[in-house]
Amino acid sequence: MLLPDRDPAAGSGTLFPCPPPPAVAPVTYDEAIDWLYATQLFGIKLGLDPMRDLLAGLGLDRALDGRRVLHVAGTNGKGSVCAMSDAILRAAGHRCGLFTSPHLVTFRERIRVDGALIPEAAVAAGLTRIRRHLEGREPHPTFFEITLALAIGHFVESGCDVIVLETGMGGRLDATNALTSDVSVITPIGLDHTQWLGDTLAAIAGEKAGIIEPGRPVLSAVQPDEAATVIAAAAREKGAPLRWIEPDDAPPVPGALTGAHQRANAALAAAAVTTLYPGLPAAALATGLARVEWPARYQRIGDRITIDGAHNAHAAAVLAHTWREDRGPDTRATVIFGGVAQKDTAETLRRLAPLVARWIFVKVASSRGLTVEELIAAWLSVVADSTATLSGIPWTTAASAAEALAAADGDDEAPILVTGSLYLAGEVLAHLLGGPPFEASEQ
């Protein structure tokens, strides 16, 4: 099963430690999710006050007192670091809440306790409570803020003693930064979300470094000089002890996730949890890293299919390196590619080109998804600007992820690589593995 749900009964009671709302007709999971997805129309609004107000109004502003919080920001790898940290903490006997985004197949992936997805009953009850609280209130919280509030309520009700939070975007003004963390982690920084965070590594690093708490430890992956200077300055300003974590700092144990970059992520995760809990047993590190599951991060399905949610140029370069390590330098794939607007799609395609025997372009299930015409135009711009002979790489289009998979399946047993967007990865996983139905989301 793609997404384990080991305890469907857990968390089905009252989600919030405050007086119950007036009587309201119960809603189903589907009704609650429909309402939540409709809040995506409010867009993205960076800032901390709305999140703080929402938590206070729900009685959750003090609910995390006494619980440890690990907060992770960065451009690439933050989800993997969160998943590894969660797996290690659970192996050490902690009851851990994990908050990540976006989901791949079902919304419930975003909120997990002890590895189990939030139950449908808990989603319905929690969103009913939040919706009642928000009636008539302006401005309306965003999808991400409501989702985070739902997560905090579920973590509190479930008795979590430690919480791992992945930022949604940036850090300084991300809703997750309304919570006080005990340890902050910054994964590798690259150019992404430039319309929100700035168009230089220094500007983006400044936003990511906003999660650093005064006087509390911060760990960072090795960064480009431009970003490292900003992170170091932010740590000094806040009196926060800073450690740079090298890939070689990873525990000398095999991990479940493929690629040299995952060794670097494992080093960050191990440093984070041992900073949070000094004396954490080495056996927990080994067990957690061996058991961690994080779909669509160089995920092999059978002999032919690999799925990787590389969604920017930096991630594409990492994917290309991992592919060569895994498949060999001369192996080329039928690459199913879909992306979203406001990314450097041409550069992403250029970095993937050495892996490609044939492109199949497809629009992802998002209003921000690039049309196949836009994807073709991006590829042709790469061909026009290239000194290499890329014009010989054929391309075609598909109307859906399922159609793209069917077309790729006929390519003489060539390996198949699905990449360009986590939205596309989720569609493909839902189609291949069954389980929960695919829930398209804009955020």
Task: Note the pTM of the prediction, 2 decimals.
Answer: 0.89
Give the pLDDT confidence score for residue 198 in this predicted structure: 56
pLDDT of residue 26: 60
188 neighbors 77 (Cβ within 8 angstroms): yes
pLDDT one digit per residue (tens) for the chain, 443 residues:
334 333 333 343 344 444 444 445 568 999 999 999 988 876 566 668 889 999 999 999 888 888 999 999 998 899 999 999 999 999 999 999 999 999 999 999 999 999 999 999 999 999 999 999 998 777 788 999 999 999 999 999 999 999 999 998 777 888 999 999 999 999 998 765 555 565 688 888 988 999 999 999 999 999 999 999 999 999 999 999 999 999 999 888 888 898 888 999 999 999 999 999 999 999 999 999 999 999 999 999 999 999 999 988 989 999 999 999 999 999 999 999 999 887 789 999 999 999 999 999 999 988 888 999 999 999 999 999 887 778 889 999 999 999 999 999 887 788 999 999 999 999 999 999 887 788 877 76
Q: How many CB atoms neighbour CB 4 within 10 A?
A: 12
Strand partners, 334: 358, 416
Burial of 123 (0-12, 13-18, 19+ CB in 10 A): buried
Kindly state the tokens that stand for 198: 């700035």
- What is the fold, at CATH topology level, of the domain defined by 299-433? Protein-Tyrosine Phosphatase; Chain A (3.90.190)
| Fold agreement (29-291, 299-433) | no
Domain ranges of the chain: 29-291, 299-433
CA 398 from chain centre, in angstroms, equals: 26
pLDDT recorded at residue 345: 93
Give, rounded to a whole angstrom, the gap between the first and last alpha carbons of the chain. Answer: 24
CA distance 32 to 140: 16
Nearest-10 crossing angle of helices 260-276, 282-291: 140
* Domain spanning 29-291: CATH superfamily: Mur-like, catalytic domain (3.40.1190.10)
